[in-house]
Amino acid sequence: MKIQDVPFNTIDWDKITLTEHPGTSGKAIWRTFEMGNIRVRMVEYTPGYVADHWCSRGHVLLVLEGELKTELSDGRSFTLKPGMSYQVADELNQHRSSTVAGAKLFIVD
C-alpha cells in the first residue's frame, strides 16, 4: 500500500458520523475517514452479525474488542481475538466476516 496525498492529521473518532450497514443478520456500524487514496474505519459489528457479501477489497484489519470469524472463499476460516490482525491484497482472497458476540475493528484500506 502506498499512501498518497494524505498530510499528517489526527482523528477524533467520537466526532465521525456513524453509518449503518445491514448484514444477512445484525449490522455493521462504521465511522469512516477518507483522504487521498486511503479509507480508515472504526467498525463495530453487533452480536450475530454475518456479512451479506464476499469482499474482494484489500484491507489491514485489527481486532480491538470481541471475536471475529473470517471465512475465505476457498473454504478456510480464521478466528481473530483482540490484538490479532490480518492483511489481504485487493482481489486476492475473497473474504467475509461474522461474529457471535460482537466485535470492534480498526480497518485501513
Structural domains of the chain in order of their starting residue, each with its CATH number: 19-108 (2.60.120.10)
Q: Are 30 and 101 in contact (CB under 8 A)?
A: no
Flag whether pLDDT at 1 surpasses 80: no
C-alpha to C-alpha distance for 103 and 85, rounded to whole angstroms? 13
| Backbone angles phi and psi of 97, in degrees to 5 | -115, 155
C-alpha to C-alpha distance for 21 and 41, rounded to whole angstroms? 13
C-alpha to C-alpha distance for 68 and 63, rounded to whole angstroms? 7
What are the tens digits of pLDDT across the range 45-100? 999 999 999 999 999 999 999 999 999 999 999 999 999 999 999 888 999 999 99
The pTM (predicted TM-score) of the whole model is 0.92
C-alpha to C-alpha distance for 9 and 17, rounded to whole angstroms? 17
Tell me the pLDDT band of 2, cut-offs 50, 70 and 90: confident
pLDDT of residue 3: 87
C-alpha grid cell, residue 28: 455493521
What are the tens digits of pLDDT across the range 14-51? 999 999 999 999 999 999 999 999 999 999 999 999 99
C-alpha to C-alpha distance for 79 and 68, rounded to whole angstroms? 6
